[in-house]
Structure 1
Amino acid sequence: MANEMMNRNDFGMFDPFARMAEQFWAPFDKTAQVLKTDISETDDHYQVKVDVPGVDKQDVKLTYRDGMLTIKVQKDTFEDHSDQDQNVVMSERRSGTVQRQYQLPNVAADQIKAVQTDGVLSITLPKTKAAGDSQIEIQ
């Protein structure tokens, strides 16, 4: 909020030079390549939703190990043959591998369910009873 306030001029508009600089560096911004994720938690499970538009479910690998959910997406190279003369003016689609990890403890790994619908991967991770803290008596 403070940074946003500092980018305003006396007319209440964003500084045009700052906006121009943001647009210039946008293609190099790594956050644009990150898997956008929402995670919610209830008493009995975690719910993870990840945007994976244009990705086949065969190209998504999920693992859960040592309290860590790993999502790995491989988007293979594409070839656009619609322009036979190779007069491409702009190309922003990317290929490669993107991976994210989330620390989600006390999950029943054998009961995790995942569904991919309309470009959204939904993962339900049921919780197990955590081994509670206990007072140890010295004898």
Structure 2
Amino acid sequence: MANTLMNRNDFGMMDPFERLARSFWTPFENMDQVLKTDISETDDQYQVKVDVPGIDKQDVKLDYRDNVLSIKVQKDSFVDHEDEQQNVVMNERHTGTLQRQYMLPNVAADKISASQADGVLTITLPKTQASDDNGTIEIQ
């Protein structure tokens, strides 16, 4: 404890460079939380809303197969090459692919619609009539 108290400075317990080094990996620790999603269900449809701020719609790929909605987003970083002296203080943008999948059964795949506005992707998945069949097969 005495050692910790001896290292105190006006910036708190850590010096600013140590804080910067520790915060460097923070954006990568929560990558699974980047595509924040809300899913609501009514009798006739599912509605999926995904936060995609700063993403162009051509960088979003949607797929529905085998009762699974897949969302894939390709995010490219902004690289500023105009600063020849490398005076960049901080750069938090990066290149990467984000992907989520959701099991949403009994969807009319040919009637799925999607739109993107104000950083929110909205996907509407109309339901088909669920089969009353319980999955058993009668042998004749």
Q: So what's the TM-score if we normalise by structure 2?
A: 0.73
The superposition leaves residues 97-138 of structure 1 with CA deviations (integer Å, 9 ceiling, x where unpaired) of 111100000000000000000111000000000111358778
Two-structure CA RMSD over aligned residues (Å): 2.6
The superposition leaves residues 65-86 of structure 1 with CA deviations (integer Å, 9 ceiling, x where unpaired) of 0000000001124212453422
Q: What is the CA–CA distance in structure 2 between the aligned matches of 1:53 and 1:99, rounded to whole Å?
A: 15
Q: What is the CA–CA distance in structure 2 between the aligned matches of 1:130 and 1:97, rounded to whole Å?
A: 34
Q: Which range moved further: 28-37 or 93-102?
A: 28-37
Q: So what's the TM-score if we normalise by structure 1?
A: 0.73
Q: What is the CA–CA distance in structure 2 between the aligned matches of 1:95 and 1:39, rounded to whole Å?
A: 27
Instruction: Give aligned-pair identity as a percent.
Output: 71
Q: What is the CA–CA distance in structure 2 between the aligned matches of 1:28 and 1:77, rounded to whole Å?
A: 14
Regions of 4+ moved over 6 Å: 135-139
In structure 2, the CA distance between the partners of 1:32 and 1:81, relative to structure 1 (3 Å rule), is: farther
Q: Which amino acid aligns with 1:98?
A: L
User: Where do 5+ consecutive residues of structure 2 fail to align?
Assistant: 1-18
1:69 matched residue in structure 2: 69
Aligned length: 119
SS at match of 1:133: coil
